[in-house]
Amino acid sequence: MKKRRVVILGSTGSIGTSALKVARDIPDRMEVVALAAHSSADKLAEQAREFGVKHVCLFEESKAAELKKQLPTDVNVYTGLDGLCALATLAEADMVLVSIIGTAGLKPTLEAIEAGKDLAIASKEILVMAGEVVMNRAAAKGINVLPVDSEHNAIYQCLQGNHGGAEQVSRLILTASGGPFRTLPKEELANVTLAQALKHPTWKMGQKITIDSATLFNKGLEMIEARWLFNIPMERVDVIVHPQSIVHSLVEYRDGSILAQLSSSDMCFPIQYAVTWPDRVVNSLPHLNLAEMAQLKFEAPRWDDFPALNLARQAGLTGGTMPAMFNAANEVAVQAFVDGKLSFPGIWETVEKVLSASRPRDYKGSLALILEDDAWAREEAHRLIAR
């Protein structure tokens, strides 16, 4: 039984703190060797002390001195993007858990691949923007890419034992909780407030992803993510609403059999699986009581009322830099909604306008082109919102 030595990029966020819970729970299978955070110096110092970590990175350089003061002198303190890359390629690490919000995770991820580290990816942006590059380079290097997102982790589990390749899979079926407005009439979506959008029925997550769950953009991003992770054509990536968040996703095979993965809605499950794969390890997480649950509910998504799903499918089908622009426009629109500059439906209206004005390109493995079009989409979204 191998203990995995893990670098956590984004340790103070919601995935990062869950990952540390897993590390506490299965210490003989997971060792934390490095931690990186954006700007929470105090929290990062506390985590580094608890786990005796010798390498830490604070992305925000101006707070590094504050961090250093709280750590033993033998701890190496890094900053910025270079710091993230240094951690991602540490000699003493086997696996890098990437749970940084936004595009900052892209470069460290590619460097980790080059350094031969296995990846546990929680950052959607990486696979949405550059899924093709990441998966191709990972395959060339022979490293494993374990998805941490609960849906993709579930699909990964349901694909274990499929020795017939992708052609045996007829559909990947992502489950969606439907968010807090699952049953809200379409005409009332215009009046949705920030506070309402931040109340997720089943999962506790960060602000951006919670709003994305309410608009279903989160599911849209996950559709694109799934397309690349599992190398399945976009047409075969489907969504079903499952309000209880117990079934984390399903795989339908061509003989009509469907496999599903179930557990309670705690991110520790997918994180642990990513770290211990292919092994199953005893933990202290709560087991499901199916008899108590009695029934599981499924319903069709409201494709027309929540356009994010169709926009995502379109972006995925178009490919090239389109998914990156889809993601970028959404990020800007969500921030504008948080700042009170945009209505709730304004989020998808903005993204739709940006995408129809866009000129997606085949990026041919070039990150520079992806980032260029990403920047264009952000600018265009800002321009539309300011109008």
Q: Which is nearer to Mg ion, 182 or 378 (CB)?
A: 182
Q: Which is nearer to Mg ion, 118 or 225 (CB)?
A: 225
Residue ranges in 138-167 that form contacts with Mg ion under rule CB under 5 A: 149-151
Q: How far is the CB of 174 from Mg ion (least distance, A)?
A: 8
Q: How far is the CB of 273 from Mg ion (least distance, A)?
A: 14
CA–CA separation, 341 vs 345, rounded Å? 12
Q: Which is nearer to Mg ion, 149 or 331 (CB)?
A: 149
CA–CA separation, 77 vs 301, rounded Å? 47
The count of chain residues that interact with Mg ion, using the rule CB under 5 A, is 3
Q: How far is the CB of 78 from Mg ion (least distance, A)?
A: 29
Q: How far is the CB of 151 from Mg ion (least distance, A)?
A: 5
CA–CA separation, 58 vs 39, rounded Å? 6
Report residue 221: phi and psi, to 5°.
Answer: -60, -40
Q: How far is the CB of 222 from Mg ion (least distance, A)?
A: 6
Q: Which is nearer to Mg ion, 149 or 252 (CB)?
A: 149
Q: Which is nearer to Mg ion, 9 or 209 (CB)?
A: 209
Asked if 252 contacts 258 with a C-beta cutoff of 8 angstroms, the reply is yes
For 149, residues 6+ apart whose C-beta sits below 8 A from its C-beta are 121, 122, 124, 222, 225, 270
For 216, residues 6+ apart whose C-beta sits below 8 A from its C-beta are 176, 178, 179, 301, 306, 308, 309
Closest chain position to Mg ion (CB): 149
For 115, residues 6+ apart whose C-beta sits below 8 A from its C-beta are 88, 89
Per-residue binding string, Mg ion, 106-145, x by CB under 5 A, is ----------------------------------------
User: 92, exposed or middle or buried, with CB in 10 Å at 0-12, 13-18, 19+?
Assistant: exposed
| Cα distance from N-terminal residue to C-terminal residue, the chain | 59
CA–CA separation, 48 vs 110, rounded Å? 25
Q: Which residue has tokens 């000129």? A: 359
Report residue 193: phi and psi, to 5°.
Answer: -100, 165
Q: How far is the CB of 205 from Mg ion (least distance, A)?
A: 9
Q: How far is the CB of 266 from Mg ion (least distance, A)?
A: 13
Q: How far is the CB of 27 from Mg ion (least distance, A)?
A: 27
- The sign of the torsion formed by the CA atoms of 377, 380, 385, 386 equals positive
Per-residue binding string, Mg ion, 15-44, x by CB under 5 A, is ------------------------------
* Paired sense of beta strands 169-176 and 4-9, if any: unpaired
Q: How far is the CB of 80 from Mg ion (least distance, A)?
A: 29
Q: Which is nearer to Mg ion, 55 or 248 (CB)?
A: 248
Q: Which is nearer to Mg ion, 150 or 327 (CB)?
A: 150
Q: How far is the CB of 263 from Mg ion (least distance, A)?
A: 13
Q: Which is nearer to Mg ion, 118 or 151 (CB)?
A: 151
Q: Which is nearer to Mg ion, 93 or 241 (CB)?
A: 241
CA–CA separation, 280 vs 317, rounded Å? 36
When asked if residue 331 is in the footprint of Mg ion (CB under 5 A), the reply is no
CA–CA separation, 337 vs 345, rounded Å? 9
Q: In the chain, how many H helices and how many E strands? A: 16, 11
Continuous segment of H or E residues that includes residue 125: helix 124-141
Q: Which is nearer to Mg ion, 149 or 373 (CB)?
A: 149
Interface residues toward Mg ion, by CB under 5 A: 149-151
